[in-house]
Structure 1
Amino acid sequence: FSPSKINLFLRITARRPDGFHDLASLFHVIDLGDDMTFAKSSSETKDTLICNDPTIPTDSSNLVIKALDLFRAKTGVRQYFWIELDKKVPHGAGLGGGSGNAATTLFAANKLCGSPATEAELLEWSGEIGSDISVFFSKGAAYCTGRGEIVEDVEPPLDLATKMLLVKPPMGCSTPAIFKALDLDGRSKADPLELLKRIGVDGCSETVCINDLEAPAFTVLPELAELKERLKAATADKKTVVFMSGSGSTIVIVGDDDVPAFVARDDALFKAPTRLITRKPGEWY
């Protein structure tokens, strides 16, 4: 099982000299995910990736293949693999579906080859091919800094049974476009460590579940702002908290997983009830 994630809060703390941005975010792994099957390949020259979604590239641009190349480069193992990917997590969603695939691939390849690397090494290496991959090597709840590759395990801030609903419009968000539209002067001034403390004590609220990428995402996709407001209005009587995950375009509803009527009527909207999940060291999700 290859899970995805949500960001319970996301603060952009600085723009770095290399053009990337430093962030401070509380990530949590969720039970929406893809199914992946791995086997050792008899090929001595290439991996084979099969995917049910024809829009997903299966060449070396896919994070799954990048993860296998990284695994071989770091461990010296020369094994190639056969991978089947049954895609369920939408892309361009801010849910880290591709990053989850890469983390699952690193974990699986390592297991199939007799665990030549530690989980700490897999976590460290993963930052070389993507910023969000390392969060999946946490126990499920992680406070992440740097580009997202510096991972600190934290206790789950919410009950794992907390009801949640994900709603995503058909259009995805381009992460580079969202960061390009980011106004650094318009960010929240909230201390991320204070947000981490408050969510652990008081749970989710509008003042805690801050996402500095919402404003630029809503500038790039005004219909996303409208969707958030409609979801807030439709679930207000249930005391929900509504916010965007990552760089979008998924909107998260915390506190209820009933599908609002207007969402149920719209076949173009992706909708999925979800829950937070965790894992034990040495095991996968």
Structure 2
Amino acid sequence: MTFALPAPAKLNLFLHITGRRSDGYHELQTLFQFLDYGDDLQFEPTTEPGEIRLEPALPSVPSENNLIVRAARLLQEESDRLLAGVRITLNKRLPMGGGLGGGSSDAATALLGLNRLWALGLSIDRLAALGLKLGADVPVFVRGFAAFAEGVGEILTPVDPPEDWFVVLKPDCEINTGLIFSQEGLTRDTPRIKIAPAFEGDASRYRNDCEDIVCTLYPEVRKSLDWLSQFGPARLTGTGACIFGRFPTESKALEVWASKPSGINGFVTRGVNRSPLHTKLTELE
């Protein structure tokens, strides 16, 4: 019964802030696309009923606060029976505070993986609803398709953007998302747009409304953004710190990657419109 599942990264190909709600949350419009790169979670049953063991522990994140453990606890609460214990081994590749959705993706993979391990039979709709309790980005990972998102990011419309190649850079800083959304100078009134089921149009007219604030507060992001912009449009994902440039071929992306200054971390990968998590689950059926 031991098996492993991917927890892929995402990019916000654009991020518009269209308003602020009375509860303090921000209304967004964004376009999510998955990357063929991310974390991996291995699931292994244990003999201790109800046990949730996560290995290794993440620095500065108590186990019970980890989204993986919280996802497992939610599923235990959903069940009317005592569930088998589980050891979850996390192979962490995605940086924390990078805007790639690593924690949300890990949580989604935990929900789908444990739904399979424990034979709970919960629907994708129910798992997505549980995921929303953990974070606004979790449902898109649960549902597993590239999506135009509205609301706080939970209202999803499937889209089919080009599956291009990306150079993703991770500046040497960790962004405080709460700090970014609390800034008075943050754009909060971008006009709402409509979008067809397939993503169409000139992507250069879209932007990330968090980018200017992030670059002001974190000069390392500005430095990486300026360098990558030499090769074409580059943009912040989420609230950062990662930035990305889009390229039509793997060879072009690798050529740019090879020329990066020393000391800049990141990776080259392809955008995909079906989550690698769902592809792997299909293979396991």
CA deviations 1:64-97 (Å, max 9, x no partner) are 0010011111233532321000101111100001
Distance 1:59 1:280 in 2: 26
Corresponding residue SS for 1:157: coil
Shift of 1:189: 3.1
Aligned mates of 2:74, 2:61 — CA distance in 1: 18
Question: Where does structure 1 differ by over 6 angstroms across 4 or more consecutive aligned residues?
Answer: none
Q: What percentage of residue pairs aligned between the two structures are identical? A: 29
- Distance, in Å, in 1 between the alignment partners of 2:276 and 2:124 is 8
| Alpha-carbon distance in 2 for matches of 1:75, 1:29 | 30
For 1:272, the equivalent position in structure 2 comes to 267
Amino acid at match of 1:275: R
* Cα separation, partners in 2 of 1:244 and 1:281, compared to 1, 3 Å: closer
| RMSD value, Cα | 2.5
Q: CA deviation at 1:176?
A: 0.6
Q: Distance in 1 between matches of 2:154 and 2:52?
A: 26
Task: Show the counterpart of 2:30.
Answer: 25
Match of 1:249 among 238, 241, 251: 241
In structure 1, the partner of 2:3 is none
Instruction: Indicate how the Cα distance of structure 1 residues 263 and 248 shifts in structure 2: closer, same or farther if over 3 A, else same.
Output: farther
Shift of residue 263, structure 1, vs aligned partner: 6.3
Distance 1:278 1:231, change over 3 A: closer
Contact 2:52 2:87 in 1 (8 A): yes
Q: Secondary structure at 2:134's aligned position in 1?
A: coil
What amino acid does structure 2 have at the position aligned with 1:204?
A
| 1:73 equivalenced with 2:83 (yes/no) | no
The alignment partner of 1:95 has SS state of: coil
Equivalent in 171, 174, 177 of residue 172 of structure 1: 174
Query: 1:73 is matched by which residue type in structure 2?
Result: E
Instruction: After TM superposition, list the pairs within 5 Å mapping 1:1-285 onto structure 2.
Output: 1-51=6-56, 54-55=58-59, 57=61, 59-79=63-83, 80-154=85-159, 156-158=160-162, 160=163, 162-181=164-183, 183-184=185-186, 186-187=187-188, 189-193=190-194, 196-197=195-196, 200-202=199-201, 204-205=203-204, 207-208=205-206, 210-233=207-230, 235=231, 240-255=232-247, 256-258=252-254, 260=256, 264-267=260-263, 269-279=264-274, 283-285=278-280
Q: Contact 1:3 / 1:31 at 8 angstroms: preserved in 2? A: yes
* Distance (whole Å) between structure 2 residues aligned to residue 115 and residue 263 of structure 1: 49
Between the aligned partners of 1:242 and 1:57, the Cα distance in structure 2 is 31
- Matches of 1:198 and 1:54, distance apart in 2: 38
Q: Which runs of 5+ in 2 are unaligned?
A: 1-5, 281-285
- The alpha carbon displacement at 1:33 in A equals 0.6
Aligned-residue offset at 1:174: 1.1
Deviations 1:1-39 (A, max 9, x none): 111100011111211222221211111111121111002
The C-alpha deviation readout for 1:49-68, integer Å capped at 9, x for no partner, is 002x7526361110000100
The 1:54–1:74 alpha-carbon spacing in structure 2 relative to 1, beyond 3 Å, is: closer
The count of corresponding residues between Structure 1 and Structure 2 is: 270
Structure 2 Cα separation of the partners of residues 249 and 12 of structure 1: 18
Matched letter for residue 105 of structure 2: G
| 3-state SS, counterpart of residue 202 of structure 1 | coil
Query: CA distance change for structure 1 residues 261 and 284 in 2, over 3 Å: closer, same or farther?
Result: closer
Task: Please give the alpha-carbon distance, in whole angstroms, between the structure 1 residues aligned to 2:103 and 2:81.
Answer: 23
Which secondary structure state, in structure 1, belongs to the residue aligned with residue 225 of structure 2?
helix
TM-score w.r.t. length of structure 2: 0.86
Identify unmatched segments of 5+ residues in structure 1: none
